[in-house]
Amino acid sequence: MTDIGRLLEVIGGRNAKTVGLQFPVGLRTKAVELAQEIESKAGVTCLVSADPSFGACDVAEMPVDLTVHLGHAPMPHLRYDRVFFYDLGSPPLKDLGFVDAAIPLLPRRVGLLTTYQFREWLPAIRAHLEAKGFEVHVGPPDRRVAYAGQLLGCDYHTATVIDGDVDGYLYIGTGDFHPLGVAILLPDKPIVIADPERGEARDLKDVRDRILRQRHAAIARAHDARTFGILVSRKIGQERMGLARDLKALAEKHERSASLFLMDLVSPELLEGYRVDAWVNTACPRIAIEDILQYKQPILTPQELEVVLGERDWKDYVFDEIRAY
């Protein structure tokens, strides 16, 4: 955990008496320790949010004077009320062996991508690759992304903005989902993951192809659906009510029925019992992709509903993004 001094200054400067703490799952082991330290040093009462936290799009509403959100960068286009994003920084970059493992898989012109967790590593990795003869590009952020080269699970601007300058991408991180959107949006360019935890590199092509087969199957299952449930999130950075209304109108144009469902946490057990043939998710795009096997009915992205209704061809398939314009 980084030095707590800055956090204590913010709490004192805002004259907070109650402080809410919101952690992503990976940092929950720090929750009790940090809450106790803040209470003892700042003389405040802490309230830990036990709900899951999925990103800066998902800031808890808590009865406190100040909410401290950890593990994510704020989205520049959003206005947060009494929220402080506690920057934990990146872990130390101890060696570049995992980057070297990716080198045989990379084209000469490469774009660097990562998540908030490893953002501070990019300058050193860029210099390392350039010293080996690579031409390296790092895309600037947009209104939803705080840092150059940073991907969100719903925003791939830092990749697409440099598409014309690169022949492939190197993603620094541990999972598949963030770079998966890039692999689907830009299918002709290799996406290589350099994994610092495993110390290895892998190409994302096989994962991309498997996910696309799943998406094709979901579309096929929903082809004859007559009643759609369109899911709308209440979360600050995920709410797309305008899109949901447009999708409802589109379904009705094709003589299908559709109802809007407003939720905070979208999960399969909360949707049981409703008489719908297929769900359409306008909340976090990860829900339809990563949780597909948990739902009894097919769960579609907005673009997939367009395919089902004949408004979009499968060959024009794109990954769902939440973008700020």
Mean pLDDT over 231-244 rounds to 93
- Angstrom distance (rounded) from CA 320 to CA 302: 7
Lowest mean pLDDT among 15-24, 69-78, 160-169, 297-306: 69-78
Mean pLDDT over 262-289 rounds to 93
Q: Which residues contact 229 (CB under 8 A, 6 or more apart)?
A: 258, 259, 261, 271, 274, 276, 278, 279, 280
- Angstrom distance (rounded) from CA 295 to CA 207: 21
- Angstrom distance (rounded) from CA 288 to CA 270: 15
Note the pLDDT of residue 170: 98
pLDDT value at 55 more than 70: yes
- Cα angle 209-212-214, degrees, rounded to a multiple of 5: 115
- Which amino acid is residue 182, in one-letter code? V
- Cα angle 115-117-121, degrees, rounded to a multiple of 5: 85
Query: How many Cβ atoms are within 10 Å of 266's Cβ, its own excluded?
Result: 22
Is residue 19 within 8 Å of 45, Cβ to Cβ? yes
In the structure encoding, which two tokens stand for residue 72, read together? Answer: 């994510």
Query: How many Cβ atoms are within 10 Å of 23's Cβ, its own excluded?
Result: 21
Lowest mean pLDDT among 12-16, 26-30, 46-50, 203-207: 26-30
Is residue 310 within 8 Å of 259, Cβ to Cβ? no
Which residues are paired to 229 by β-bridges? 259, 279
Domains, the chain, with CATH or none: 5-86 (3.40.50.11840), 97-203 (3.40.50.11850), 212-316 (3.40.50.11860)
Confidence class of residue 1 from pLDDT cuts 50, 70 and 90? very low
Mean pLDDT over 271-296 rounds to 92
Note the pLDDT of residue 325: 52
What are the two backbone dihedrals, phi and then psi, of residue 255, each rounded to the nearest 5 degrees? 60, 35
Mean pLDDT over 265-272 rounds to 91
Mean pLDDT over 19-31 rounds to 90
The per-residue pLDDT of the chain, averaged, comes to 93
- The structure's pTM equals 0.86
pLDDT value at 210 more than 90: yes
pLDDT exceeding 70 applies to what percent of the chain?
Answer: 99
- Angstrom distance (rounded) from CA 142 to CA 325: 9
In the structure encoding, which two tokens stand for residue 36, read together? Answer: 């106790």
- Angstrom distance (rounded) from CA 115 to CA 153: 9
Confidence class of residue 177 from pLDDT cuts 50, 70 and 90? confident
Confidence class of residue 123 from pLDDT cuts 50, 70 and 90? very high
What are 111-122's pLDDT values in tens digits? 999 999 999 999
Mean pLDDT over 22-31 rounds to 88
pLDDT value at 235 more than 50: yes
